[in-house]
């Protein structure tokens, strides 16, 4: 069943891709092939592969329990928040918080997680900022 859904999504994607390709504004100066042929052929093969997946699905993968899915979803949200707030609160705080959360959710005790989070943040800051001189996002506190 998963494969059939996957194939259907792929087919829709291929159709959408072909439609979006046809929307490309062609320049008056174009080569013999033009900017549309290649993406169109890609869309066609993508669609054919999707149809093949629908017609001959593999055996069902082992999907995780709902609780695990929620877990992954929460981690994604944390990562998105990390990306969004990196520029606001600065690298040090954002990294410490995100690492603490991930470490905790992977089964470490709360106190140890906080320690790992702080250590990771400090470690990366030292290696990447102080040793390698990479520019990391700066927060109001200067790190």
Partner 1 sequence: MDTLTSLAEGFVIALTFQNLALALLGTFLGTIMGALPGLGPANGVAILIPLAFTMGLGPTPAMILLTSVYYGAMYGGRISSILLNIPGDEPAMMTCLDGHPMAIQGRAGEALALSGVASFVGAFIATWGLILLAPQLVKFALLFGPAEYFALFALAFATLGGVASTNQAKSAFAAMFGLALAVVGVDTQTGVPRLTFGEVHLYDGLDFLVAIVGLFALSEVFIFLEHRHGASSAGPGTIKVGRITPSWKLLKSTTPTMLRSSFLGFVAGVLPGAGASLGSFIAYSFEKRLVDRKGTFGHGDPRGVAAPEAGNNAAAGGALVPMLALGVPGSGTTAVLLAVLLSLNITPGPLLFTNNADVVWGLIAALFIANFMLLAMNIPMVGLFTRLLMVPPRILMPIVAMISFVGIYGISGSSFDLLVMIGFGVLGWLLRKLDVPLVPVILGTLLGNTMENNLRRAVTISNGDYFTLVGSPLAIALWTVAVIGFILPIFVGRMVRARMHARRDTESSTAD
Compute the CA torsion angle 70, 72, 73, 76 (nearest 10 deg): 160
Q: What is the DSSP letter of 133?
A: -
∠ Cα 16 22 24 (to 5°): 110
Residue among 61, 56, 49 nearest 9 (CA): 49
Tell which positions 7-26 bind partner 1, by CB under 8 A.
Answer: 10, 17, 20-21, 24-26
Nearer to partner 1, 27 or 142 (CB): 27
Residue among 88, 92, 90 nearest 138 (CA): 90
Taking the complex as a whole, the smallest distance from the CB of residue 102 to partner 1 amounts, in Å, to 4
Tell which positions 75-114 bind partner 1, by CB under 8 A.
Answer: 75-76, 79-80, 82-84, 86-87, 91, 95, 98-99, 102-103, 105-108
Contact 130, 122 (CB under 8 A): no
130 lies in the binding site for partner 1 (CB under 8 A): no
Identify the sign of the CA torsion 130, 136, 138, 141. negative
30 lies in the binding site for partner 1 (CB under 8 A): yes
Using CB under 8 A as the criterion, which residues of the chain lie in contact with partner 1 when the complex forms? 2-3, 6, 10, 17, 20-21, 24-27, 29-35, 37-39, 42-43, 45-46, 48-50, 52-53, 56, 58, 61, 63-64, 68, 71-72, 75-76, 79-80, 82-84, 86-87, 91, 95, 98-99, 102-103, 105-108, 116-117, 120-121, 124, 128, 132-137
């Amino acid at each position: 069943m998963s494969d059939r859904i996957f194939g259907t999504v792929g087919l829709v994607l291929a159709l959408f891709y072909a439609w979006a390709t046809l929307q490309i504004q062609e320049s008056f100066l174009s080569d013999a092939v033009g900017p549309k042929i290649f993406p169109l052929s890609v869309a066609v093969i993508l669609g054919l592969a999707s149809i093949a997946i629908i017609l001959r699905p593999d055996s069902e993968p082992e999907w995780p329990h709902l609780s695990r899915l929620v877990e992954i979803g929460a981690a994604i949200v944390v990562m998105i928040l990390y990306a969004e707030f990196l520029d606001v609160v600065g690298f040090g705080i954002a990294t410490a918080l995100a690492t603490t959360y991930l470490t905790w959710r992977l089964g470490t005790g709360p106190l140890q997680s906080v320690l790992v989070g702080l250590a990771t943040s400090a470690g990366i800051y030292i290696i990447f900022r102080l040793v390698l001189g990479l520019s990391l996002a700066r927060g109001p506190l200067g790190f």
